[in-house]
Chains A and B, each alone.
Chain A
Amino acid sequence: MKNPINGLNKVFDNRVRLGVMSVLVVNDEVSFNDLKQMLEVTDGNLATHLVSLEENGYLKVHKGFIGRKTNTTYSVTRTGQKAFSDHISALENMIKGIK
């Protein structure tokens, strides 16, 4: 029997990581502070999850400056986009299968 959990991406079993991806697929580039504000998480918590998404090759980090303040922005990679849409398809199939 096929396991319905197959196809679900382990990386996205966390709400913060899932949230980051959801925001990034509909926005070209989002800054750390804007992400923090939208997801309502702490700096440390968000940073950890961003690192893990980056290590998986799902997002690109751009380090820039606004005046003297650092301004780090994030955008989704092609791999990330593919992984996220596969994950959504898997969720969809699971929910359909159960109905």
Chain B
Amino acid sequence: MSFENQPAEQLEDVRHIRNMMERSSRFLSLSGFSGIAAGSCALIGAWVADRIFFRGYYASYNSIGYSDQSFIRLRTQLVLLAIAVFIAALGSAFYFTWNRTRRQGATLWNVTSRRLFWNVAIPLVAGGMFCVGMLWHNQWLFVAPASLFFYGLALINASKYTLTDIRFLGFAEVLVGFISMFAPGYSIYFWAIGFGVLHILYGAIMWYKYER
């Protein structure tokens, strides 16, 4: 090899090192469609909650106390809906990312995805426990802000283990959560913005940036 070729060779080595470090420490196959799908599930869920479950309840907000039968029914409906939305969102998000890794010839369950999974799961489970505790005491006013806060923190934490762009989605979730604290009674709309609109926006930007 002539001396002239050396710089190119060394630069290529440096690129290789960087690439391997990056690929082994971050899960980069998250699909933008996962965000769009999860956001759509959230919007559908929010629509059902608002149009079907909430309307009647809010109309009689001043005359009916929280311990009333109708609130217990509403709470059961909302919890079941939330669980259904969570499963649907997770499932569809999982599908699109799985599909993408398959097309890339990679596997979904590797060092980086495992690490990402745990680092999202831990703050999320903590947030889930906090919300269950609040519901237990009938403190449902701050469930939506709390879920937005904890989810945002989970995403900020996740940004160390996947595309760094997700950090901004995390900040946005926290901000929406904070604003929603000053508009009690409109939780469902902020929840729809945070989990629906922001996810779709983020997913579309990620698709535009990395997958086109």
Contacts and interface: CB of A to CB of B under 8 A. Distances in A.
Interface SS of chain A: helix, strand, loop or mixed? helix
Interface string B3-15: 0001100110110
B19 to A, nearest CB: 8
A4 B7 CA distance: 11
Contact of A22 (B21, B106, B111): B21
B162 to A, nearest CB: 15
Interface in B16-68: 16-18, 20-21, 23-25
Contact of B16 (A19, A92, A95): A19
A22 B13 CA distance: 11
Interface in A24-39: 25-27, 30, 34, 37-39
Interface of B: 6-7, 10-11, 13-14, 16-18, 20-21, 23-25, 106-107, 110-111
12 contacts: A18-B17, A22-B17, A23-B21, A23-B24, A25-B21, A37-B110, A39-B20, A91-B10, A95-B10, A95-B11, A95-B14, A98-B6
Lowest 8 A-B CB distances belong to which pairs?
A22-B20, A23-B24, A22-B17, A19-B20, A98-B7, A26-B25, A34-B111, A26-B21
